[in-house]
Homo-oligomer: A and B are copies of this chain.
């Protein structure tokens, strides 16, 4: 669909745990063709310190209800302010933005790895690709069980595994410490990841080494989100590419990792 600047209506703002919120936005315009990895760029009002919009990955779309949901993790002033918005408020956003993940097909065995708010596009991907759940493995990392978000809604789309840094849920350590990653990596023919830089680099490098298809979604800082400012660039093998338009999803083979 065409990019638009749209006034959404915030219809739900649910605190999932200490730092994570689920926001559901009702669209006044018809929402169509939104794919996992795409994002929307949200205006955050009410603070003189916030000048630019903030990009958020689409967590889910309900085409019937014409809603888009976001997973917002409090990191700084913008995300904090956004989570204080009340249902009934208008939230202006530019959408849809960015390129999506390459959707797998039913011959594929896929591994989705999400860390922090990077879980959002992974959950959306698990739901969108509609594969045999046995062929979909989702590995989710968090600091602690209290940072972990409830994924029961997505449970049926794949097999879920967890790591926490303190061992309070699933395997103790990082996602890269989990056997799914350390021992079974080459059982998959497509790897998808979104999360902190270090995590994505570790995954990407392993995928490159083992010559497995791997796409990651980057979160470079953006000014515009639609390809005009050239601020969000990632240094790729073919030069500086805009994360907002050439990405945020990149094949790790194209990156200088």
Contact = CB atoms under 8 A, between A and B. Distances in A.
A48 B51 CA distance: 8
A184 interface: no
A48 B50 CA distance: 8
Interface residues of A, number: 6
A47 interface: yes
A50 B47 CA distance: 10
A157 to B, nearest CB: 41
A76 interface: no
Contacts of A50: 48
A48 B81 CA distance: 14
A73 to B, nearest CB: 23
A47 B46 CA distance: 5
A48 B49 CA distance: 7
A191 to B, nearest CB: 42
Interface of A: 45-48, 50-51
